[in-house]
Structures are given as structure tokens and as C-alpha cells.
Amino acid sequence: MSKERVAYVNGKIVPESRAVVSIRDRGFLQGDAVFDTTRTFGHKIFMLNEHLDRFFDSLKYMRIDPGMSKSEFARVTMEVLEANLPLIGDDDDYWVSQRVTRGVRVGGEELPTVVVECLPLPFDARAKYYRDGIPVIVPSVRRTPPDSQSPRAKVHNYVNLVQAELEARSQNPDAWPILLDTNGNLAEGPGSNIFIVKDGMAVTPREQFVLSGISRRVTIELAHELGIDVREADIDLFDAYTADEVFVTSTSFCICPVSSVNGSPISDGSVPGPVTDRLTKAYSGMVGIDVAAQYLARLEE
């Protein structure tokens, strides 16, 4: 078995060093592409069908025909994952992504580029967030509004979020950006949704202004099962500063507590709060992995 990961590119599974796209590819030239990403838990893929449903919704929004069905993507995804699993340890897991660009124009026809690939999750780099909480910075950059480009589609054009990340990390290298929408309400961060908790109720921004993360949906379902009140509503900075708890959800984090917003500690600054802790434990029970412990185990002694 080679020590190099493999990826699927346009009908072939090849070593990553040979997984290349054309310099004329629309995804490279214009960010004209769609992707989705799930992860494994204990080497088992998580909610692949739900991620592929969202992937195909994004493709529909962008009017890109991938030339493959959902079932074909599922089959190829599992082939790529199984080929790459021997390259990671028992305690490691992968991000698993599907990508389709509008491709290269040949004559009057555009031939899409299709990629399926894996990347190890960054447990070492992010372990501190489960011990200390995430310091959130709200940058001046606003999230792209729905009347310009729908945030509900998961597309390659991430410049808006990249600019937010650069600004946030210029203030604090460990910071995680959460952008406001153009109305001044909290929206989302790179690949992540935000929840606040006040008086036992969890609140998250309305779906019109954010990508509806699969982990966000799972968290809402778990809250209902646990009898925790949860709703979608506009959340401004006053709500964040005065919240009892704040946490983010994402494919990699699952659920991770926030320690501060713009330097203002959440409650007394201790993490996780009781609601966040209950939801994290429920998430862990559902996936069969203690998600916080998987990160915390990577902390240096």
C-alpha cells in the first residue's frame, strides 16, 4: 500500500500528486464550483446521503450538471475512503469531500471536473478549543447577502469568508470569525454555524442567511429530543455578549464551546456550559465517539 493518499478525478482514482485540474478550469479561474464535505467517526462515514442531498441542491442552484448520479457519487466516495483509511491511525478520522467545477470549455461545451478526496481532520491544531473554548471575533466584513449570492449553496467562492478570517486572525491568531449579515445580525463563519443559549433556550440564525449545516440540523434535532427549547431568530451582538452560553457547530467540530466574543467573556468564561455539554454528549452518543475527548487527547502534556 502506498503512503500517498488517492483521489478520484474525472473517472479515475489516482495518487494525490497526480490529481490535477486544468489552468483553464472555471473552478480555478472563477470559483465556479460546488462542494460538500462530511467526516468519519471511528472511520465510519457520517450522513453521506444527507450531505449528497445538499451537494445536489447546490449543483442545482449553480446549474451545473455533474454527469453523475447521487448513487454514483456515494459509490465513488466509499471507494476513495476505503483506499485511504489504511493511511491513518485508529484514533484519526477524515474529512471526505465531493467537488464539481463547471470545468473547461471545449468548443461550445463545458465539461465538468469531478473530484472526490479525503483529508485528515486537524485534531492537533484545534484541540485547545475544547479545553479553552473558541475566541470569536466579529470582523468588519459582512456575509454575502442572499440577494447577491445565496449562502445556502455550498460553493467554492470563499473570498468573503477568507477576508473575514484574515481580519479576525490579525487581531488574534487563535480567533474564529463569525460574520454579521447586512442587517447587523450574526450569520456564520467558515464552514460553521453559531448558537447562543439564554435562559435555557438555544437560538441560531435563520436559514435564509446561512448555509444550513448538517451538524446544525443534527444539533437542533438533538435539542428537541433532550427537551431543550431551540429556535431560529435574528441574533445581534447584544444577544451574544449577554448570552449564558455560545457554541459553534461544524462538520469537524460537531459542537464546540465559545469562550468570548470580541474579547468579551461569555458568562463567567468557563466552558462548556451546561446546555452545550448536554448537546455535545448527545452528539457523541449518536456518532459513537466522544467528540470532545477525541480532540482533547491531542493536547500536549
Question: What string of H, E and C letters represents the secondary structure of the chain?
Answer: CCCCCEEEECCEEEEHHHCCCCCCCHHHHHCCEEEEEEEEECCEECCHHHHHHHHHHHHHHHCCCCCCCHHHHHHHHHHHHHHHHHHCCCCCCEEEEEEEEEEEEECCEEEEEEEEEEEECCHHHHHHHHHHCEEEECCCCECCCCCCCCCCCCECCCHHHHHHHHHHHHHCCCCEECCECCCCCECEECCEEEEEEECCEEEECCHHHCCCCHHHHHHHHHHHHHCCCEEECCCCHHHHHCCCEEEEEECCCEEEEEEEECCEECCCCCCCCHHHHHHHHHHHHHHCCCHHHHHHCCCCC
The mean pLDDT value of the chain amounts to 96
| Measured CA angle at 144 (ends 138, 147), to 5 deg | 140
pLDDT in tens, 265-298: 999 889 999 999 999 999 999 999 999 999 999 9
191: nearest Cα among 252, 243, 247, 123: 252
pLDDT in tens, 67-92: 999 999 999 999 999 999 999 999 99
For position 107, what pLDDT does the model report? 81
Distance CA 293, CA 286 (A): 15
26 pLDDT tier (thresholds 50, 70, 90): very high
- Out of 3.40.50.620, 3.40.50.2300, 3.40.50.720, 3.30.470.10, the CATH code matching 6-121 is 3.30.470.10
Burial class (CB in 10 A: 0-12, 13-18, 19+), 199: exposed
CATH of segment(s) 125-296: 3.20.10.10
Distance CA 50, CA 1 (A): 31
Provide Rg for the chain, Cα atoms.
Answer: 19
Provide the sign of the torsion angle of the four alpha carbons 211, 175, 37, 281, taken in this order. Answer: negative
**Structure pTM?**
0.94
For position 261, what pLDDT does the model report? 97
301: pLDDT strictly greater than 60:
no
For position 109, what pLDDT does the model report? 86
Mean pLDDT of 108-115: 92
As beta bridge partners, residue 193 has 188, 249
For position 233, what pLDDT does the model report? 97
pLDDT in tens, 171-217: 999 999 999 999 999 999 999 999 999 999 999 999 989 998 999 99
* Domain map (residue ranges) of the chain: 6-121, 125-296
For position 209, what pLDDT does the model report? 92
